[in-house]
Amino acid sequence: MNNYELMVIFTPVLSEDDFKAAQRKFTDLITENGGEMVNSNPWGLKSLAYPIQKKTTAIYWVAEFKGQPDFNEKLKIQLLRDEQVLRHMINKLDKYAVEYNHRKKSGAPTGTEKAVEV
Amino acid sequence: MAKANEIKYLTAIKQEKRAKKFCRFKKYGIKYIDYKDAEFLKKFLNEQGKLFPRRLTGNSLKYQRKVSEAVKKGRQMALLPYVTDLLK
């Protein structure tokens, strides 16, 4: 059971409940296949650094989950098939990343504030 | 012929001692560089959004690679631009 982090960019025309429905769809997919949702963090509407498919804003969603290594293929197929999804990225998290995310979620200071002034 | 080190200048030439660069990740014990943290990653990009070389950031090789990997992921997910004119 590795730790993964999924980041999905949805089209900005998505309404609030469509966005929730899309999130639920993927979280159900994860839990059905023996995965386990650790953290779901919808960022909502954000402006993009460069236009994707002629759109300059998009809805971001970041999800951290545990899952089987072979499950990501199925997840990728679902993500590619869904038109609402502009772009997605699945990252494997090592133990430092998991600890970083945990501290960030619980508000504990991650090291980056100290390193800002240089 | 006076050798270079024998030349005595009237006033001592003061070589300003440049601050010793250090790898901020080793010093502050940061182990994971988050690609989602665009503000922090912008420290390592110049105005055009290109990565600073190691000699400017002072990072160690291991963490410079992690920074470049995080920046490339951020660019892929449109958090950071590939090229821009005025990033800061």
Predicted complex ipTM: 0.86
Residue B3: inside a domain:
no
**pLDDT tens, residue by residue, A36-94:** 999 999 998 999 999 999 999 999 999 999 999 999 999 999 999 999 999 999 999 99
Interface contact A7-B37, CB threshold 8 A: no
CB burial of residue A118 (10 Å; 0-12, 13-18, 19+): middle
Q: Tell me which chain B residues have a C-beta less than 8 angstroms from the C-beta of A61.
A: none
pLDDT, position A1: 87
Q: What is the CATH number of the domain that holds A101?
A: 3.30.70.60
Interface contact B40-A89, CB threshold 8 A: no
Residue A112: inside a domain:
no
**pLDDT tens, residue by residue, B34-69:** 999 888 898 899 889 899 999 888 899 999 999 999
pLDDT, position A118: 47
Q: Tell me which chain A residues have a C-beta less than 8 angstroms from the C-beta of B81.
A: 49-50
**A109: region left, alpha or beta (phi > 0 left; psi from -120 to 50 alpha):** beta
- Interface test mutation site (partner B, options A112, A113, A116, A117, max chain B beta carbons within 10 A): A112
Which domain range does residue B45 map to? 33-88
Which residues, listed in sequence order, are joined to residue A85 by a DSSP beta bridge? A10
Q: What is the CATH number of the domain that holds B61?
A: 4.10.640.10
